[in-house]
Structure 1
């Protein structure tokens, strides 16, 4: 009778200096994992050959324990008898579904290639020493300095904390194991092996309860009372939902400070996922990580709840993620703003502006009552009784432009040269305005922006020292739970006039402009191609072409492209295939992005990217980041940026194109009391 070969285990190394809390974390993690699979636990201290044997112990561990386990063989190793100061009996660590290895040197350079996940536990030296001596008693006291010196020398040559996948900082209160387990469940190397935990996290029932009517509720006060003091908060704000004729987006979503504490940022090829004091680092493309972390599941909703959002990830994807979708790599490693930032919302409030109802959403087990719905009801009443009041006046920032009037005209001409040479049909050229703004309050600025420029896809996102305040009218891409896809590009803009007759004439001028119609149609064709890659053949349609929509400060030309996601197709790959929005690149997309990299003198950052959500039920709704102010830094070091641009075609008039970017900047600048630089 033959036996089936053993499967290589998931190997998790837990490292850190003496007394950091490695053993406690390893024991608790192993206990939690044993609920669904077999687990072996190995302590390296059982193999060190004496108090001066750190380096020798690491070699013995790699050779006799880690190497056989990594090839699905039981590890047979020699213990160290500390009382006899000599080798002790032989022991075996069996292959299991998961093997947890803890101790100083567990994630050393020689071990990292064999481990699937490396964890470094960090704590301050006085706390470590007290904890270690308390654990090991007086036997350790004479050897503390000897052992600590070996650790220092080893780490000088092998900077393990910088190379670890997960960093846990000073967590001795018993919360570290939950933090680490959540990060492991989103780690590409561990997610499959930890599927039961991962499924439990993603498929816990989403509780959706009506919290009360919206009559008289000030949404600004509601958001501020629930999430205003939190480091991370997101408001996807359909701020024009009450405007006559507004039908684009009937829902607003408010979320922040989730109980799970999961947040992700991506910068120059590395994604960091944090939960409280624990941080995981993944050196892989952002969209690949998102495909692992976002696991759509069935999430039923009660009658009357029509919003696609069922909790999940919310945030922004910056333009420079184009490096993963066919564009060239622009270095953003030193940028103050990450390439992407998402938070996992396990609590949220959804406002249905059409039905006038607020809904409280939470991710809890049946029978649990975390009081969230009661909290939302109380906040609704407070927001109804005391409106937020007028937005205060703002000190006008002094913006400077990356491109002068002359240089922008020269770049328009250079774009047209590329078009005439056949390298592009349409080049969406952009520039950036920036301003130092010490003491600037992004929240008050957003309050003023949303009132002056209400938009269906407005948003306020605060991620620590970076805040995004957007009044975008443009949907990039939505995907419903059933796979219906919709893109709604905007191409063509006219500033509105306070004179009704002139305003109507401007609207007609936009609707009949051959240049604007040509720009829009080219982007429609590009998006039809983008959506076709992952759609059912023959399902791509254009239900709306060259429609005119009017907003507070501008008229816009908008089209709609629909498609049906093919069965089994990856939603993340479908999003990546269309990213960045064609309305912000031009056509054809890949070659035009290369042209833009040569013309634009720096990364676009958040601007031209996307803002929105990735729901647990598989639905997605993302807007295009335009009409958007980004504040980076805090206090006296705050810096503002505003991206603006326009589509260049062969028959563009350079001066008209320059005036168009001024028109697009007007809504944000005028709200701040600022002017376009050089005007």
Structure 2
């Protein structure tokens, strides 16, 4: 019986060099834990050249098989009105492969689905209005079925090429040739985590400063509308965001590498989606994790800027920890997530082991809680994800009403922002981020967003400034380093 192959490679504390070597393949993706900055992170994952890609745009979805699969695809799927149902079918069929049932459990990804879900995929979960301007050409959703991966396991200091029986001998040989060439050309890169220089790609250049899609007055008008909804009992909290946009030329990976250096986060990712399209994610926030049937979510609610001195930094952290407003806001989202996970997790399994924990990043402190549940079945992780999407920490409460208000007040689609980058492995493992602190490079235009949860006692100036605090490290770095 065919089985998964595990081919040992020299340990890579970062997979950036190997990504550079393989990025010419279709739909490459790097899930990047920034292990050097976050020593407790577990894995980095690199994939490319999926056997199939499921993508959606404004209601229509498609499955596109790779050329060598076009005539006789791996699976025949029943028709569905929703890309989420198609993905669930595909994962179920994949996990039923005999080799998948014996897939090792110590790896996060042993073949399966990996990609991104835009915020607007919430329309496939709930009935919602759609009045925003759709001016971004990226697909609403793009998820690949990947037959191989490179995984760095930081706890054991190992890096492996994982080959599933879906891969041909020719594909395996080609991969090993490219990997060995990259490692032989840059042995120091393998040891020191320095990326190989991009080849034949023009340097990233930012052509204009970032500009918001709201003036300060427009933000205040929308802020006041949210407060009116809250005071009238429509909702308890709404996450209101503004978008910052610019124009660029050149290789977005230059920008990703620079932002990775100044804004390290444990759920970073770089994905290339076709001609002149890329996702540069520097997210600090997990959405859902599934390991051995245990589901975990870590919502972030509560933010304060880092201090300029150690004393000021500690004072800011203490202020956040003591903030009744931020604790109440965090608790609302914890309750929302308990409800979302309760749709699919086993009855009585929902727990909150951590409430209001402090986590610190380059430019901000956050309040983070942990919500847990349990599921049965290796193909059930994707159902938990779909039934909980999008994450409550970036919508508000109650979720559906908050999303209706967001649609009413925000002028443009959120696209990848506040969606998720996720993988669903055939061995039952799953992990996902909430794509905050995330930029989209879209054929010469680049966008990023920042928002905050508004509640009854929110103050306009504080909330408006918080959006700039969250996004400033990204926009200011690119403007300083790459602006003509």
TM-score bucket (shorter structure): 0.7 to 0.9
Q: Aligned runs of 1:111-260 on 2, under 5 Å?
A: 205-214=3-12, 219-225=15-21, 227-239=22-34, 241-243=35-37, 246-247=39-40, 249-258=41-50, 260=51
Does the alignment pair 1:384 with 2:157?
Answer: no
Change (3 A) 1:286 1:365: closer
The Cα shift of 1:663 comes to: 0.5
Change (3 A) 1:673 1:460: same
Matched with 1:57 is: none
Matched with 1:270 is: 60
The 2-side partners of 1:611 and 1:475 are apart by 10
Change (3 A) 1:343 1:512: same
Aligned with 1:294: secondary structure?
helix
Matched with 1:55 is: none
Contact 1:327/1:594 (8 A) holds in 2:
no
Contact 2:267/2:285 (8 A) holds in 1:
yes
Matched with 2:124 is: 324
The 2-side partners of 1:625 and 1:250 are apart by 19
Contact 2:243/2:447 (8 A) holds in 1:
yes
The 1-side partners of 2:331 and 2:469 are apart by 22
Change (3 A) 1:547 1:257: same
Equivalent in 448, 454, 465 of residue 642 of structure 1: 448
Contact 1:320/1:329 (8 A) holds in 2:
no
Change (3 A) 1:431 1:378: same
The 2-side partners of 1:271 and 1:595 are apart by 26
The 1-side partners of 2:183 and 2:378 are apart by 41
Aligned with 1:232: secondary structure?
coil
What TM-score, normalized to structure 2?
Answer: 0.87
The 1-side partners of 2:219 and 2:435 are apart by 21
Contact 2:110/2:149 (8 A) holds in 1:
no
Aligned with 1:673: secondary structure?
helix
The 2-side partners of 1:431 and 1:365 are apart by 43
The 2-side partners of 1:380 and 1:352 are apart by 18
Contact 1:211/1:373 (8 A) holds in 2:
no
Q: Aligned runs of 1:593-612 on 2, under 5 Å?
A: 593-612=403-422
Change (3 A) 1:382 1:219: farther
Contact 2:20/2:196 (8 A) holds in 1:
no
Aligned with 2:81: secondary structure?
coil
Matched with 2:317 is: 507
The Cα shift of 1:569 comes to: 8.3
Change (3 A) 1:218 1:204: same
Contact 2:436/2:450 (8 A) holds in 1:
yes
Aligned with 1:555: secondary structure?
strand
The Cα shift of 1:543 comes to: 1.0
The 2-side partners of 1:401 and 1:221 are apart by 34
Aligned with 1:623: secondary structure?
strand
Unaligned regions of 5+ residues in structure 1, if any?
1-202
Does the alignment pair 1:488 with 2:285?
Answer: no
Aligned with 1:355: secondary structure?
coil
Contact 2:6/2:161 (8 A) holds in 1:
yes
Contact 1:484/1:564 (8 A) holds in 2:
yes
Matched with 1:98 is: none
Q: Aligned runs of 1:496-645 on 2, under 5 Å?
A: 496-566=306-376, 570-633=380-443, 638-645=444-451
Contact 1:632/1:639 (8 A) holds in 2:
yes
Contact 2:330/2:356 (8 A) holds in 1:
yes
The 2-side partners of 1:367 and 1:348 are apart by 14
The Cα shift of 1:524 comes to: 0.4
Change (3 A) 1:366 1:553: closer
The Cα shift of 1:396 comes to: 6.0
Matched with 1:426 is: 237
Equivalent in 470, 474, 479 of residue 668 of structure 1: 474
Relative contact order: is structure 1 or structure 2 higher (C-alpha 8 Å, sep ≥ 6)? Answer: 2
Contact 1:350/1:358 (8 A) holds in 2:
yes
The Cα shift of 1:306 comes to: 2.6
Equivalent in 299, 314, 317 of residue 114 of structure 2: 314
The 1-side partners of 2:135 and 2:308 are apart by 44
Q: Which has the larger radius of gyration?
A: 1
What TM-score, normalized to structure 1?
Answer: 0.63
Contact 1:325/1:577 (8 A) holds in 2:
yes
The 2-side partners of 1:327 and 1:644 are apart by 25
The 1-side partners of 2:188 and 2:334 are apart by 46
The 2-side partners of 1:500 and 1:301 are apart by 47
The Cα shift of 1:561 comes to: 0.3
Number of equivalenced pairs = 457
The Cα shift of 1:606 comes to: 0.7
Q: Aligned runs of 1:49-68 on 2, under 5 Å?
A: none
